Amino acid sequence: MAKKTESEKLAKYITDLMLQKKGEDIKIMDLRKLTGVTDFFVICSASSDTQNKAIADFIIGETKQLGQKAWHNEGYGNLSWVLIDFVDVVVHIFLTETRRFYNLEGLWGDAEITMIKDK
């Protein structure tokens, strides 16, 4: 089995953080064969803007403690789609209806997608 890259480890860690805050429909999209812009999208849904903010704040805080500071984030204004950019891993936290509308999974349909389930 191939050794996991740092970006793979970060993507997996972020899914664990999403689970802790009850994120739903969590997926890792492997984009390495499709683009040079980023390695992974990590996506989840939240049922409210309050939960969306809680998930985003938790990810930013916990990753910062590991020395993984987000390069950029946006979406805190309306909280329907929060994006946190770690360069090699881009996190998308959506309200369910916003996620359905933008359909990132469909736009990047050629990506290898890993669905994350709570244990």
Total number of domains constituting the chain: 1
User: Is residue 1 domain-resident?
Assistant: no
Q: Is residue 23 part of a domain?
A: yes
96 lies in some domain: yes
Distance of CA 83 to the CA centre of its chain: 8
Domain assignment present for residue 53? The answer is yes
For the chain, how many residues are written? 119
Domain of 91: which CATH number?
A: 3.30.460.10
State the pTM of this model. Answer: 0.94
What pLDDT digit, counting tens, does each position of 49-66 carry? 999 999 999 999 999 999
In a domain, 71, yes or no: yes
CA trace torsion 111, 17, 54, 52 (10° rounding) = 20
Query: Which of 3-12, 47-56, 93-102, 108-117 has the least mean pLDDT?
Result: 3-12
Q: Mean pLDDT, to the nearest integer, of 89-94?
A: 98
The predicted-structure confidence for 10-60, as pLDDT tens digits, reads as follows 999 999 999 999 999 999 999 999 999 999 999 999 999 999 999 999 999
> Virtual CA dihedral for 7, 112, 48, 67, nearest 10 degrees?
0
* 119 falls within a domain: no
The domain in which residue 76 lies consists of 6-114
